[in-house]
């Protein structure tokens, strides 16, 4: 396909799938593909997969001028090191950009997937024209990306935005990071499980009856559906969840002095059932100043956030910091 417009490839590497999209400068996706990496998650296997997809799309779209890649782990942009990726066990201390640059003859930018999502929302989504905001993705954990002064803030080694591990209960639940009382133990799907367990025996009986499942089998999605038919226990759990979400947001407000939050991830499906308690509890832990200023917005890029963010990273960001800015 011949087009005069410059195009960009956005790649979203997950723990099970590789998504890739051909994206225009204005954020339109011309074509996208998803392929499984389940059969081979080794570095060589995934790199081979990425390379084949890029080559095939480049043949079809020769005006592709750069490639952005989001990786599911903590990545040091300056040193080009992916420290680790929880769902890709082989990928430890990997120089992702260097390895791919040997195979792909286009400029490549790599960053953490939540950062890519934040960049995507900043250029094409709910964070458009907002100079300072925190992106939160609510899933198994809480992912985060900090847009400060219009750019991703990476911190010393790419660890900035690990907001899922800000401490909300100093002596609370153990977390996979080695710490305890981390925010994501209370305000992500981990938290849903916990708050369900903390229901009274009577409440447990009621919700298990309604769901027609064991307590441990109730997913956030089911809990959202139960809330939408006004199940008391489901609404209660979302209220507790929302309160905890609000506490962490308050901490982010107080530390960063930002008033905009863009919230995505699977759990935002239940938005209507937690967002009021989130807002209320966030405001109850911050200066009154924020009462009229705090804006909690739903992320707007949905499942394409990864692709669009990775493409945005190469097509619109500051060329000084991003070698392939064009």
Interface positions with a second copy (CB under 8 A): 83, 132, 144, 146, 148-149, 153-170, 177-182, 243-244, 247-248, 250-260, 284-289, 293
In the complex, the smallest distance separating the C-beta of residue 298 from a second copy, rounded to whole angstroms, is 20
Residue number with CB closer to a second copy (225 or 259)? 259
Q: Which residues contact 281 (CB under 8 A, 6 or more apart)?
A: 242, 243, 244, 245, 246, 247, 250
In the complex, the smallest distance separating the C-beta of residue 131 from a second copy, rounded to whole angstroms, is 8
Nearest residue to 275 (alpha-carbon basis) of 318, 311, 241, 310: 241
Nearest residue to 54 (alpha-carbon basis) of 45, 44, 64: 64
Return the percent helix, strand and coil in the chain, to nearest 5: 40, 25, 35
Nearest residue to 61 (alpha-carbon basis) of 3, 132, 137, 112: 3
Q: Which residues contact 305 (CB under 8 A, 6 or more apart)?
A: 12, 116, 117, 120, 121, 125, 264, 299
In the complex, the smallest distance separating the C-beta of residue 59 from a second copy, rounded to whole angstroms, is 39
Residue number with CB closer to a second copy (139 or 179)? 179
Residue number with CB closer to a second copy (10 or 127)? 127
Q: Which residues contact 109 (CB under 8 A, 6 or more apart)?
A: 66, 67, 68, 69, 97, 310, 313, 314, 322, 323, 324
In the complex, the smallest distance separating the C-beta of residue 256 from a second copy, rounded to whole angstroms, is 5
Dihedral of the alpha carbons of 5, 113, 18, 98, in degrees to the nearest 10: 80
At residue 264, φ and ψ (nearest 5 deg) are: -130, -160
Crossing angle of the two packed helices 43-60 and 96-103, in degrees rounded to 10 = 50
In the complex, the smallest distance separating the C-beta of residue 19 from a second copy, rounded to whole angstroms, is 26
In the complex, the smallest distance separating the C-beta of residue 192 from a second copy, rounded to whole angstroms, is 18
Separation of first and last alpha carbons in the chain: 21
Residue number with CB closer to a second copy (104 or 175)? 175
Give the dihedral sign, CA 300/305/309/311: negative
In the complex, the smallest distance separating the C-beta of residue 191 from a second copy, rounded to whole angstroms, is 13
In the complex, the smallest distance separating the C-beta of residue 17 from a second copy, rounded to whole angstroms, is 26
In the complex, the smallest distance separating the C-beta of residue 91 from a second copy, rounded to whole angstroms, is 16
Residue number with CB closer to a second copy (159 or 269)? 159
66, 155, 186, 212, 220 from 74: Cα distances, Å = 22, 11, 22, 39, 26
Give the whole-angstrom CA distance, residue 312 versus residue 316: 6
- Cα-to-chain-centroid distance, residue 111: 12
Residue number with CB closer to a second copy (170 or 214)? 170
Residue number with CB closer to a second copy (18 or 71)? 71
Residue number with CB closer to a second copy (53 or 259)? 259
Residue number with CB closer to a second copy (144 or 220)? 144
């Amino acid at each position: 396909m011949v087009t005069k417009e410059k195009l960009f490839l956005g790649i979203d590497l997950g723990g099970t799938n590789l998504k890739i999209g051909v994206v225009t400068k204005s954020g339109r996706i011309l074509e996208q593909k998803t392929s499984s990496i389940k059969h081979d998650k080794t570095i060589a296997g995934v790199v081979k997969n990425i390379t084949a997809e890029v080559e095939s799309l480049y043949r079809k779209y020769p005006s592709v001028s750069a490639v952005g890649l989001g990786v599911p782990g903590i990545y040091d942009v300056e040193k080009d090191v992916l420290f680790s990726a929880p769902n890709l066990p082989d990928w430890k201390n990997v120089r992702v950009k260097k390895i791919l640059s040997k195979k792909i003859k286009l400029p490549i930018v790599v960053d953490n997937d939540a950062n890519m999502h934040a960049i995507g929302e900043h250029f094409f989504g709910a964070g458009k024209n907002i100079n300072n905001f925190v992106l939160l993705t609510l899933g198994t954990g809480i992912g985060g990306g900090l847009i400060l002064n219009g750019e991703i803030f990476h911190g010393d080694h790419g660890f900035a935005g690990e907001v899922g591990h800000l401490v909300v209960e100093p002596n609370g639940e153990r977390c996979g990071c080695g710490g305890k009382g981390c925010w994501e133990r209370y305000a992500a799907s981990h938290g849903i499980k916990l708050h369900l367990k903390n229901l009274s025996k009577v409440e447990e009986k009621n919700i298990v009856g309604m769901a027609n499942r064991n307590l441990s089998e109730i997913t956030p999605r089911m809990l959202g559906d139960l809330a939408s038919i006004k199940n008391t226990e489901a609404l209660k759990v979302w209220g507790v969840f929302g309160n905890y979400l609000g506490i962490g947001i308050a901490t982010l407000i107080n530390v960063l002095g930002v008033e905009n939050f863009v919230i995505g991830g699977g759990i935002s499906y239940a938005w209507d059932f937690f967002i009021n308690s989130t807002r209320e509890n966030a405001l109850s832990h911050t200066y009154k100043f924020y009462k009229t200023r705090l804006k909690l917005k739903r992320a707007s890029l949905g499942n394409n956030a990864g692709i669009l963010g990775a493409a945005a990273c190469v097509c619109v960001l500051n060329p000084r910091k991003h070698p392939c800015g064009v």
